[in-house]
Chain A
Amino acid sequence: MSRPPHHGFSDREERLLASLSAGGTGFSALIGGLLAVVVWGLVAYATQLRHGLGVTGLRDHVLWGVYIANFVFFIGVSHVGALMSAILRLTGAEWRRPITRMAEAITFASLLMGALMPVVDMGRPDRLLTLIGHGRLQSPILWDILSITTYLTGSTLFLYVPMIPDLALLRHRYAGGPAWRRRLYTLLSLGWQDTPAQRHALETIMRVLAVMIIPIAVSVHTVVSWIFGMTLRAGWNSTIFGPYFVSGALFSGAAAVVTAMATFRWAYHLEDYITEAHFRRMGYLLIALGLAYGYFTFAEYLTPAYKMATAERGYLTAVFSGPLARLFWFTQLTGILLPVLLLTLPRIAWVPRLHRVPLLRPRPALAAAVTYAVATVVLSAAGPRMTMARVNLTALIPPWALPALVLWLFLAWLPVFHVRPIAAAVVASLLVNVGAWLKRYLIIVPTLLNPFLPIQRAPTGWAAYQPTWVEWSITAGALAGFALIYIGFSKVFPIIPIWETRQEPAPLRPAGQEGVPGVPAL
């Protein structure tokens, strides 16, 4: 990375500001690639606007699908940034300082994408303003609009206010880049002179915001869950949907923060600031949130499954042993259980000894997993084309193959993760996020496929749901848009707070030697 033309920055500040001058072919290629995906998503959306929602796989029975799953997913990921940093700020957890802005920027970017998704899902986006002119407060959709806009405003302030001193610093000393940057910094730093009065005002504002943001954040995902919870549909008609969704949102959001931490640490060589100890503490948080989420999931499925009432029987059978069973058990296993195990088990002392078992070499296990994935994709793609034979080719793979494979892979890679705890945390977080998306899908689709009245006389294909290229393209575009907003943010603003980390007594030492003075260990 070339040294940027910064003036008067200390070495430490230059390091923290590395993302501002990110460039080079690799960076341009990344931005170009993301832009291409966004444009492709826009093409797909234009197709949908032109022909109607009929170009998606949605029909009268499965009337919500990938778009609404994306909505719940993005809002969930958005959850943790502001909430986590508010809680850590209020409890005076000093180790939070280098990672809070990263987390809050996730909130910002994913809230924008999440709020876009229901609009994409609307049959008449041209009538969007009707919601303002004729909105009815008794509709949960209005609750959503209110709480999401409040949260967006609150979390943007929460992101912006503690950034003001850094912006003032940049206003004074950042000389690189085009002139608009300095103008922007001057504008946004609001005449910050670092006087004691200003500092006091900033601290006060942050304390008030931190207290306010917590109930707002909780309300957002509660209200999202009530979109479903307020209907009579079996599978959605649940009283614990609020806390269930909130816990799932926190889990996936914390995982997204871990992924972002690892990415920035790797891309901008921030090993001194984002240390292994940060990953360890985020790991504790993930474990706790995962256990809470697992508990709610268990409660949510066990209570209807025990009774097997007529209405509930349909969707429960579909996910426990029916057509969606593989996806469901995969999601539970690799989306909740495995990440928690990945964050805990590698610490055990005897784990490296697993290497001595000949069967548990990491590479053969990985090769087997890749083979399985390729075989599944190929077989399920070939299935519909070989319909004359009326065989479901994926059925050729025994159902126990997947859990066995996951177990094998897990055991074989445990020793590797023993020596690389950050890798373990990243793998766990990626699994959490994949699982989180699949879970949203599994909350929406099986319920819609199992209504009170039987699905009858539906035109061919209307009784099932197969997302089309339009839905996948728009989803890819939204993910790329999220990444673009996030990268754009880190290109313009310091992603690690400069003044806040300066106040920190000392950077956290690597794992094993924790115990920063004045910071109680978790």
Chain B
Amino acid sequence: MRVSRRSFLKLAAAAGMVAAWAVGEPAAPVRRPWVGAGRGVPALARSTGQAGRPRRWVMVVDLAKCDGCQECTRACTAMHRVPPGQEWIRVYEMRDEATGLAYWLPRPCMQCDNPPCVKVCPVSATWKRDDGIVMQDTSRCIGCRYCIAACPYQARAFNWLEPAATPERTGEAYDPEWNRVHFKGTTEKCIFCPALIKEGKLPACVAACPMGAIYFGDREEDAVTNSQGETVRFSALVTEQAGYRLLEELGTEPRVYYLPPRQRLYPAPPAEPAAAPVPAAAPRRTVPPDRPGAVGGAVP
């Protein structure tokens, strides 16, 4: 067993080198302090969680406060150097029925407790941590995109072309807790900024929201905080304001809660959804302009 394993590893290394040569890309420097499913960042949880309990991160988005300014998206993109064409937290314009008022809905990764994406990944490139975060290791991802197909929230994006911030170009080691360098042909997503949490900071999108619409915190502690420094009881917030989770009927058990957009503080979105800019690196493609930018879904 040992010998065959060693010779297999040799073979694998040789094949990897051949493949790397074929792709024309040197092996990227990778820092993997805790690779292995389930062994997530327990250091933080153990040292600071209450009474030895692990942290259980949750997010609450108050839709009544969100004015659709997309500061969260911009902050996230800057923090993780998100490649063009991707938005790890995307602000949707939703309308629940034809006569209802439209509202904005920021959608990060829901960090599902029953995550369809984790179930289907063939190589553990995405996995669930004890603290509730669904992590993504792009240095292992083989780019099959099964997780994108499985995610009901479209929270995942793919590096279709060579991203600008590769480890080779920036000289940084890859750290899945930061996810600031990117590999061609791999899948990425929001990971609740575990590197910032570790430093005791709020995730980038939460801190950037000028309306204080996004709350973040530890469910075990029953406290969530927003960018205005308001800290409230999670259970009170969600029960008193009829908090809900997106597509709850699918049973994915998201860790992101929404408060309904009643008594909105800000005007509803304009009728026409804004088109996102074309990513600079995208190749020219011939698509007839009569193809709508938004097809199917809640916004007419």
Contact with A along B129-144 (1 / 0, CB 8 A): 0000000000011111
B51 CB contacts on chain A under 8 angstroms: none
For residue A121, which residue of chain B has the nearest CB? B144
For residue A465, which residue of chain B has the nearest CB? B287
With known contacts A51-B161, A55-B283, A466-B287, A124–B143 Cβ distance under 8 A: yes
Binds A, one of B54-62, B182-190, B193-201, B211-219: B182-190
CB pair A59–B160 under 8 Å, yes or no, is yes
A461 CB contacts on chain B under 8 angstroms: 278, 282, 285, 287, 291
CB pair B297–A456 under 8 Å, yes or no, is yes
A residues 109-162 touching B (CB-CB < 8 Å): 118, 121-136, 138-142
A residues 443-464 touching B (CB-CB < 8 Å): 448-464
Q: Is B15 an interface residue (CB 8 A)?
A: yes
Docked pose: A463 CA to B119 CA in angstroms: 26
CB pair B161–A449 under 8 Å, yes or no, is no
Task: Tell me how far the C-beta of B138 lies from the nearest C-beta in chain A, rounded to whole angstroms.
Answer: 9
Contact with A along B281-300 (1 / 0, CB 8 A): 11101111111111111110
CB pair A122–B152 under 8 Å, yes or no, is no
Task: Tell me how far the C-beta of A191 lies from the nearest C-beta in chain B, rounded to whole angstroms.
Answer: 30
Docked pose: A468 CA to B283 CA in angstroms: 11
Task: Tell me how far the C-beta of B263 lies from the nearest C-beta in chain A, rounded to whole angstroms.
Answer: 25
CB pair A232–B290 under 8 Å, yes or no, is no
Contact of B123 among A123, A131, A227 (CB under 8 A): A131
CB pair A123–B158 under 8 Å, yes or no, is yes
CB pair A58–B273 under 8 Å, yes or no, is no
B residues 150-208 touching A (CB-CB < 8 Å): 150, 152-154, 156-162, 183-187
Contact with A along B211-232 (1 / 0, CB 8 A): 0000000000000000000000
Task: Tell me how far the C-beta of B107 lies from the nearest C-beta in chain A, rounded to whole angstroms.
Answer: 7
CB pair B92–A456 under 8 Å, yes or no, is yes
Q: Is B265 an interface residue (CB 8 A)?
A: no
With known contacts A52-B159, A455-B297, A456-B299, A136–B140 Cβ distance under 8 A: no
A392 CB contacts on chain B under 8 angstroms: 288, 290
A residues 147-186 touching B (CB-CB < 8 Å): none
CB pair A462–B85 under 8 Å, yes or no, is yes
A356 CB contacts on chain B under 8 angstroms: none
B90 CB contacts on chain A under 8 angstroms: 456-457
- Chain A residues within 8 Å of chain B by Cβ, number: 67
B141 CB contacts on chain A under 8 angstroms: 123-124, 127
CB pair B296–A314 under 8 Å, yes or no, is yes
Main secondary structure of the interface of B (DSSP, over half): loop
Q: Is B109 an interface residue (CB 8 A)?
A: no
Among A140, A384, A454, residue most surrounded by chain B Cβ atoms (within 10 Å): A454
B282 CB contacts on chain A under 8 angstroms: 54, 459, 461
B100 CB contacts on chain A under 8 angstroms: none
Contact of B285 among A50, A52, A57, A121 (CB under 8 A): A57
With known contacts A122-B144, A123-B143, A387-B289, A449–B123 Cβ distance under 8 A: no
Q: Is B22 an interface residue (CB 8 A)?
A: yes
B144 CB contacts on chain A under 8 angstroms: 118, 121-123, 141
CB pair A390–B289 under 8 Å, yes or no, is yes
Docked pose: A383 CA to B158 CA in angstroms: 30
With known contacts A52-B185, A57-B285, A123-B158, A135–B107 Cβ distance under 8 A: no
Contact of B185 among A123, A233, A451, A459 (CB under 8 A): A123
A233 CB contacts on chain B under 8 angstroms: 149-150, 152
For residue A140, which residue of chain B has the nearest CB? B120
Contact of A49 among B22, B148, B149 (CB under 8 A): B22
Binds B, one of A14-22, A60-68, A238-246: A60-68
A residues 33-53 touching B (CB-CB < 8 Å): 49-53
A345 CB contacts on chain B under 8 angstroms: none
Q: Is A231 an interface residue (CB 8 A)?
A: yes
CB pair B286–A384 under 8 Å, yes or no, is yes
Q: Is B98 an interface residue (CB 8 A)?
A: no
CB pair B22–A463 under 8 Å, yes or no, is no
B185 CB contacts on chain A under 8 angstroms: 52-53, 122-124
Contact of B184 among A118, A123, A227, A318 (CB under 8 A): A123
Q: Is B16 an interface residue (CB 8 A)?
A: yes
CB pair A390–B295 under 8 Å, yes or no, is no
Q: Is B3 an interface residue (CB 8 A)?
A: no
Among A60, A135, A449, residue most surrounded by chain B Cβ atoms (within 10 Å): A60
With known contacts A454-B296, A466-B285, A141–B140 Cβ distance under 8 A: no
Q: Is B23 an interface residue (CB 8 A)?
A: yes
With known contacts A124-B143, A231-B149, A450-B296, A130–B123 Cβ distance under 8 A: yes
B148 CB contacts on chain A under 8 angstroms: 60, 63
With known contacts A121-B144, A136-B121, A139-B146, A453–B22 Cβ distance under 8 A: no
Docked pose: A249 CA to B274 CA in angstroms: 44
For residue B294, which residue of chain A has the nearest CB? A456
B52 CB contacts on chain A under 8 angstroms: none
Q: Is B279 an interface residue (CB 8 A)?
A: yes
Task: Tell me how far the C-beta of B159 lies from the nearest C-beta in chain A, rounded to whole angstroms.
Answer: 7
Task: Tell me how far the C-beta of A407 lies from the nearest C-beta in chain B, rounded to whole angstroms.
Answer: 31
Task: Tell me how far the C-beta of A119 lies from the nearest C-beta in chain B, rounded to whole angstroms.
Answer: 10
Docked pose: A314 CA to B140 CA in angstroms: 34
Q: Is B20 an interface residue (CB 8 A)?
A: yes
Docked pose: A461 CA to B161 CA in angstroms: 15
CB pair A141–B122 under 8 Å, yes or no, is yes
A residues 93-117 touching B (CB-CB < 8 Å): none
A60 CB contacts on chain B under 8 angstroms: 85-86, 148, 154, 156-158
With known contacts A136-B122, A392-B288, A141–B184 Cβ distance under 8 A: no
A58 CB contacts on chain B under 8 angstroms: 160
12 A-B interface contacts by CB (under 8 A):
A51-B162, A54-B161, A123-B142, A132-B8, A142-B122, A230-B120, A453-B153, A454-B299, A461-B282, A463-B293, A464-B287, A464-B295
Beyond A124-B185, A135-B122, A449-B295, list 16 extra A-B contacts (CB 8 Å).
A51-B162, A53-B185, A57-B285, A60-B85, A60-B148, A63-B158, A123-B145, A123-B186, A141-B122, A230-B120, A387-B290, A392-B290, A454-B297, A456-B273, A457-B276, A461-B282
Residues of A within 8 A of B (CB): 49-55, 57-61, 63-64, 118, 121-136, 138-142, 227, 230-233, 314, 318, 383-384, 387, 390, 392, 448-464, 466, 468
9 closest residue pairs by CB, A with B: A123-B143, A454-B297, A123-B185, A126-B19, A54-B160, A54-B161, A461-B287, A141-B122, A139-B122
